[in-house]
Amino acid sequence: MSNPDVVVVGGGIGGLGAAFSLTRQGLSVRLLERAPAFGEVGAGIQLAPNCTRILDDYGLLQEAKSLGVVPDAMVMRDAVDGDELTRIDLRDLENRYGYPYMVIHRSDLHGLLLRACERAGVELITDAQVTSYENTDDGARVTLASGETHEAGVVIAGDGLHSVARKLLVDDEPVSSAYVAYRGTVPAELPRVRSTDLSEVVVYIGPACHFVHYGLRGGELLNQVAVFESPKALAGREDWGTPDELDAAFAGTCDFVRDGLPYMWRDKWWRMFDRDPVMNWVHGRIALLGDSAHPPLQYIAQGAIMAIEDGWVLGEHVARNRAEDGTVDWGAALAAYEAVRPEHCRRVLTTSRKWGELWHLDGVAREQRNVLLRARDTYDYSFTDWLYGPTALTPDEEPPMFTPIPLSSAAVEDSKGEPLALTGSGTP
């Protein structure tokens, strides 16, 4: 085989998105996937306007909408009493940002990108486990477990949470949050679904746990996600996140949440890891992308979106650094990519951690959080403008962050009308 312009490692959402983006720029792209076949495990995924904007640019938004659901509202409730805390009008949000907020089955999004790559002429190779990366005089090379090598002008490493390429840049390990997710989908004909508003994305937030549900595939399925902190993980045990812990974690939640637990897949669960942010993603002609660079916790639903943004930004900088004869100044393109994406993703990673802490509060802190959320105006976008607007291509285009509101600013009273205050332990 002749060498392509680009080798992309990893056939997940990020790798496929990058391969398509670079092929759009007229480059020849070879994508290497370690599994015997392309596929994606999981259930629902949320796509905010900063992602649907890119899908529209790719000419894929209408197909995505035909496969997913464009909900009317996002609602946050207290998992203990079920009361509504705040909501976002997603139709108004679409007017503000110009693109919809939608939900889609992860495998449907993956399939959409795979078909786009096939149509664009990406060379797709399976059973190709990359074991090492190295720079060459005029590009980069990867070596497979089979001993086979692939070379290109640049290698994009979308090799996930346990990235081999990341070791070229930093000696670190995934960080366990001690939280675990259970997922499941419920067919529309069951009473559980008939009694649920599929036009809403709903999250119930509770002490050391939360529960999410929304409709998928045009309302054919109800997607559910149950997430909780594992006592076994905190104790350092290896067998953590088991179904008995699932049931115990949600024992104190409202009826609607507890009634959803029997529908979760109980033979598999997802332990929640991220990594500390790093600001260096490029090693010669090897660049990190997606979870290899910035695996987040899931609390602001930006993991796959960041990976899609990475590929789009890289494609745009290829276009800006391509000569009339078609040659790409990869040094300039990769430098521009690294100048903007790590800082944005650092913000997402750190905000995701803080948002998770906020969701899972107990005691007086929970009550203070609830006071602040109830006081929020439905049409207040001060906490989303930094995230849902156009994806920045240069550092100066990155919008300012939101201004945090301290919990201590919320007045909470006990049953006698006396003010409560937090102690250092977070309890009254």
pLDDT at 422 over 60: no
The region of weakest confidence among 28-42, 46-60, 157-171, 245-259 is: 28-42
pLDDT at 414 over 70: no
pLDDT at 425 over 60: no
Nearest to 213 by CA among 405, 323, 74: 74
CATH numbers and ranges of domains, the chain: 6-37+126-172+275-356 (3.50.50.60)
- The predicted model gives 357-370 an average pLDDT of 97
Q: What is the pLDDT of residue 428?
A: 27
Which residues are known catalytic residues?
214
Interatomic CA distance for residues 187 and 12, integer angstroms: 26
pLDDT band at 419 (very low <50, low <70, confident <90, very high): low
pLDDT at 417 over 50: yes
- The predicted model gives 180-209 an average pLDDT of 94
What is the sign of the dihedral through the CA atoms of 351, 352, 358 and 362? negative
Q: Which two tokens stand for residue 427?
A: 């309890």
Q: What is the pLDDT of residue 183?
A: 96
Convert the pLDDT of each residue in 281-304 to its tens digit.
999 999 999 999 999 999 999 999
Q: What is the pLDDT of residue 423?
A: 39
Interatomic CA distance for residues 257 and 212, integer angstroms: 9
Q: What is the pLDDT of residue 58?
A: 98
Nearest to 160 by CA among 299, 55, 40: 40
Range 232-236 contact pairs with CB under 8 angstroms and sequence separation of 24 or more: 233/176, 233/178, 233/179, 233/180, 233/271, 234/178
pLDDT at 416 over 70: no
- The predicted model gives 25-48 an average pLDDT of 93
- The predicted model gives 100-108 an average pLDDT of 96
pLDDT at 255 over 50: yes
Q: What is the pLDDT of residue 411?
A: 86
pLDDT at 424 over 50: no
- The predicted model gives 143-161 an average pLDDT of 98
**Polymer length in residues for the chain:** 428
Share of the chain above pLDDT 70, in %: 96
- The predicted model gives 366-376 an average pLDDT of 97
Helix H, strand E, coil C: the string for the chain is CCCCCEEEECCCHHHHHHHHHHHHCCCCEEEECCCCCCCCCCCEEEECHHHHHHHHHCCCHHHHHHHCECCCEEEEEECCCCCEEEEEEHHHHHHHHCCCCEEEEHHHHHHHHHHHHHHHCCEEECCCCEEEEEEECCEEEEEECCCCEEEECEEEECCCCCCCHHHHCCCCCCEEEEEEEEEEEEECCCHHHHCCCCCEEEEEEECCEEEEEEEEHHHCEEEEEEEEECHHHHCCCCCCCCHHHHHHHCCCCCHHHHHHHHHCCCCCCEEEEECCCCCCCEECCEEECHHHCCCCCCCCCCHHHHHHHHHHHHHHHHHHCECCCCCECHHHHHHHHHHHHHHHHHHHHHHHHHHHHHHCCCHHHHHHHHHHHHHCCCCCCCCCHHHHCCCCCCHHHCCCCCCCCCHHHCCCECCCCCECCCCCCCCC
- The predicted model gives 327-349 an average pLDDT of 98
State how far the alpha carbon of 245 is from the alpha carbons of 231, 258, 267, in Å: 8, 13, 13
According to DSSP, the β-strands at 286-288 and 154-157 are parallel
Q: What is the pLDDT of residue 242?
A: 97
